[in-house]
């Protein structure tokens, strides 16, 4: 920008020569201004109600700095602890894998019921979709608390919690995939004399299977993250150790566990994108 005359130097001159280009309707300006001030107003109101104060944040950041200092270097201290963390990380992965698989299997028939082009009975379709919404509205941690009451503390409750939370999400995604599928294969099967069931089996399902597979792999990835936290309420996995170490202020252990989680998640990410690529090729969804 050195030396070269910049258009921005004499903006006023250009504005006076081409007034129409720079003119924008006061109406749209007012709308934008109103929306922004409403958003900011709610934000400031929220800060006030939620008891934010400069002093509190300042002190908190200071304490956080001390904590981060105490976290260095990450250290499991003993070999026994390292092995224990490794085992519960394996448990976490198992929970994520099984929970996602079970959810996939259970959500598939529900998705068929919830898809408009499969279920012709409108009322059944509507009710299935609404119940999937209800299941989806409840968080994994809440499901974990409910399942602990049924099968007791331990990783099995975690598997069931991940399953329940994902049935809703999968049901919605799969039924949307079914509805977005191409009509032509279905019409082909119907035109050559196939029944409605056959048109679904041979016309629709082959179209959505790759989408389902890729969603399943993607959710294994994201559930690895969820599975690390359900231990906080006692449903198995590394979360139990993590929350325990945070509560007992063992910061070096905390940072070590967090590093382990980060490494595992990165590994699963790489692995699942490889598999996804191998199964459905570059058109990953």
Partner 1 sequence: MQVPPPPRAHSTSAIATLPPAQAGALLCFYTKAVAIKRRQTLQGLGLLLAVTLVSAFVAEVDLVKLFVHFGNLTSYVGRLAHLDTGASVLSDLPEWFWGWKKWLRLMGETLLIAYVGTMMGGLCAFACSFLASRNMAVSKLSCFVTRRCLEFSRTVPEIVFALIFVIAFGLGPVPGVLAIALHTMGALGKLFSEVVENIDMKPVEGVAASGGSWLAQVRYGAVPQVLSNFASYALLRFEMNVRGAAVMGFVGAGGIGATLIESIRKFYYSDVSAILVLIIITVMLIDYGTEQLRHILIGKEARA
Write out the binding residues for partner 1, residues 138-177 only, by CB under 8 A: 138-139, 141-142, 145-147, 149-152, 154-156, 158-160
DSSP letter for 53, please.
Answer: -
Nearer to partner 1, 109 or 154 (CB): 154
Candidate ranges 89-97, 107-115, 119-127, 177-185; the one touching partner 1 (CB under 8 A): 89-97
Least distance (Å) between residue 12 CB and partner 1: 15
Interaction residues for partner 1, span 56-75 (CB under 8 A): 56-57, 59-61, 63-64, 67
**Under 8 Å CB-to-CB from 59, ≥6 apart: which residues?**
none
Per CB under 8 A, 226 contacts partner 1: yes
Per CB under 8 A, 231 contacts partner 1: no
Handedness of CA 116, 120, 126, 127 (dihedral sign): negative
Per CB under 8 A, 205 contacts partner 1: no
The C-alpha R_g of the chain, in whole angstroms, comes to: 27
Candidate ranges 173-181, 186-194, 196-204, 256-264; the one touching partner 1 (CB under 8 A): 256-264
Residue 226 CA to residue 240 CA, distance in Å, equals 13
Residue 237 CA to residue 92 CA, distance in Å, equals 4
Element (H, E) at 94: helix 79-114
Per CB under 8 A, 43 contacts partner 1: yes
Neighbouring CB atoms inside 10 A of 111's CB total: 28
Least distance (Å) between residue 178 CB and partner 1: 19
Per CB under 8 A, 1 contacts partner 1: yes
What dihedral angle (degrees, nearest 10) is formed by the CA atoms of 136, 139, 142, 144?
Answer: 90
Nearer to partner 1, 101 or 194 (CB): 101
Per CB under 8 A, 128 contacts partner 1: no
């Amino acid at each position: 920008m050195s030396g070269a005359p910049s258009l921005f130097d004499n903006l006023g001159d250009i504005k006076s020569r081409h007034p129409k280009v720079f003119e924008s309707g006061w109406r749209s300006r007012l709308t934008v201004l109103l929306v922004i001030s409403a958003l900011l107003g709610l934000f400031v109101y929220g800060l006030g109600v939620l008891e934010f104060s400069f002093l509190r944040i300042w002190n908190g950041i200071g304490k956080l700095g001390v904590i981060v200092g105490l976290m260095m270097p990450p250290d499991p201290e003993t070999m026994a602890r390292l092995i224990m963390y490794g085992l519960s990380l394996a448990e976490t992965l198992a929970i994520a894998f099984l929970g996602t698989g079970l959810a996939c299997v259970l959500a598939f028939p529900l998705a068929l019921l919830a898809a408009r082009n499969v279920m012709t009975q409108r009322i059944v379709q509507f009710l299935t979709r609404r119940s999937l919404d209800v299941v989806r509205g409840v968080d994994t941690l809440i499901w974990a608390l409910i399942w602990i009451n049924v099968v007791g503390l331990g990783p099995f409750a975690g598997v069931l919690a991940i399953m329940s939370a994902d049935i809703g999400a999968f049901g919605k995604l799969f039924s949307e995939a079914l509805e977005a599928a191409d009509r032509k294969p279905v019409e082909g099967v119907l035109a050559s004399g196939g029944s409605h069931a056959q048109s679904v089996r041979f016309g629709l399902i082959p179209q959505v299977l790759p989408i389902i597979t890729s969603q399943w792999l993607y959710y294994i990835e994201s559930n690895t993250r969820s599975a690390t936290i359900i231990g906080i309420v006692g449903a198995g996995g590394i979360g139990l150790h993590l929350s325990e170490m945070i509560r007992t202020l063992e910061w070096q252990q905390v940072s070590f566990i967090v590093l382990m989680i980060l490494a595992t998640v990165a590994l699963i990410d790489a692995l699942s994108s490889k598999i996804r690529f191998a199964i459905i090729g570059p058109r990953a969804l």
